[in-house]
A = this chain, B = another copy of it.
Amino acid sequence: MLPALAERLKLLTQTGPDTDMGRLLRTFWQPVATGHSIKAGSAQPLRVMGEDLTLYRGDSGRAYLVAGRCAHRRSLLHTGWVQGEDIRCIYHGWKYAGDGQCTEAPAEGPAAAARIRIAGYPLHEYCGLIFAYLGEGPAPAFDLPRKEAFEEPNVIVRSRIQVWPCNWFQMVENSLDAVHVSFVHLAGKVGPFGEAVTAAIPKLDYSETDAGIRQVATRSETNVRVSDWAFPNNNHIVTPGYSKNAPWVHRGVWNVPVDDTHTYKVGVYAFPSTTPEEDRTTLEHFEKHSDYNPADHHDELFIDRSWPEDPSLQLTPAQDYVAIMGQGDVVDRTQERLGKSDAGIALLRKIFWREMEAMRGGRPTKTWRRLAHAEELPVQGARREASAAR
């Protein structure tokens, strides 16, 4: 049985290895880095759900994820040397394979090395992202994170990762909160997202699916927004393109805990290819603006109250950032006043608590699977006609 409400609200926010949520999240593949952030033969530190890890690519180019520190005297492994497919500690040269097995302990000898193992986690690269499985036992098939829209023949895929200094769960809640779009995304300049959804209050519909939650927000007959949210932390939406006539973009967004006060906001952007000319324009726009992270502009947003220029890749996340970070690094949910329009958030929490309770009780959790048929995610709003006509 889960504890009383205040404690249950706290459970949603704690993701370390010894927490209920931490155990649950670790049964899923999670994107933890962009593929291009790490070169063959190099290593870097990586923090995921409160665990300090070492991400490296072997000389072959294959990526590995092992513990952050050497078993011996606890120095960070990423400061050492990648040698072949192994990584060697700077301090006394202990060497580890990508699965965490110690393969050499120079001043101790081979028998000692054979007895030593550090954490090592399976990785899978997809859509320009490195996904990791941090759970115990064998990793599940890499299926739930996949989306047809990202794999279509004529699609160009890009990805980016930001770190926001707040708890992951208020970022997830924002995905299941269709009303916020009517206010947050009108702040500052109105970007195409604001244009697309308008300030009207939507009629809401949330329903559990095989994959997670289907969210429908109906603002008018021609303005229906659907998103396909996959358990435990991925949202799949469509958003307006970067220019007036550009096709809408499929976006997958994951909120992955760095630790309980920092979160990776991981985005996949799938642009339908059109003409070489327009493809290049779209990609140039993406390259130019996608390294924006509102967390680097905190004081501008909260004190100076000035908004970034680019509407899609800068303004939209900046607007969400102001609303979500404005709740504090971990929002105090004991003080909130939820209403009927928070139906998505209520359903979300109910599902998480159900799954945590099953896990605690040793009962099977739900087997989440990719939808048999991709959800149709309609484009809408003022710019719908142009886009839909393509």
| Contact across chains for A182 and B112 when beta carbons are under 8 A apart | no
Interface footprint category on A:
35 or more
Stretch from A4-12, A71-79, A257-265 contacting the other chain: A71-79
In the complex, identify which listed stretch (A101-109, A140-148, A281-289) lies at the interface while the others stay far away. Answer: A101-109
Of all chain B residues, the one with the shortest Cβ separation from A43 is: B305
In the bound complex, residues from chain B placing their C-beta under 8 Å from that of A201 are: 106-107
On whether the beta carbons of B332 and A105 are closer than 8 Å, the reply is no
Q: Which of A90-98, A225-233, A235-243, A380-388 contacts B (4 or more CB under 8 A)?
A: A90-98
A340 within 8 A of B: yes
Contact of A339 among B89, B105, B183, B341 (CB under 8 A): B105
- Once the chains bind, are B180 and A327 in contact (CB under 8 Å)? no
**Separation of A107 and B337 alpha carbons in the complex (Å):** 13
Using CB atoms and an 8 Å cutoff, list the residues of chain A in contact with chain B.
Answer: 45, 69, 71-76, 79, 88-93, 105-108, 112, 116, 177, 179-180, 182-184, 187, 201, 301-302, 305, 319, 322-324, 326-328, 331-332, 335-342
Contact A79 B326 (CB under 8 A): yes
Residue among B179, B182, B305, B326 making CB contact with A75, cutoff 8 Å? B326
Question: Shortest CB–CB separation between residue A94 and chain B, in angstroms?
Answer: 9
Taken together, the copies of this chain in the complex come to: 3
Considering the complex, give the chain B residue whose CB is closest to the CB of A339: B108
The answer to whether A73 touches B183 (Cβ under 8 A) is no
Q: List 23 A-B contacts (CB under 8 A).
A: A71-B336, A72-B337, A72-B339, A73-B327, A73-B336, A73-B338, A73-B342, A74-B327, A74-B336, A75-B326, A79-B187, A79-B301, A79-B305, A89-B183, A90-B184, A90-B187, A92-B177, A92-B183, A93-B182, A107-B182, A107-B201, A108-B339, A108-B340
- A165, chain B: closest CB distance, angstroms: 15
CA–CA, A336 to B74, complex, Å?
A: 6
CB distance from A154 to the nearest CB of B (A): 38
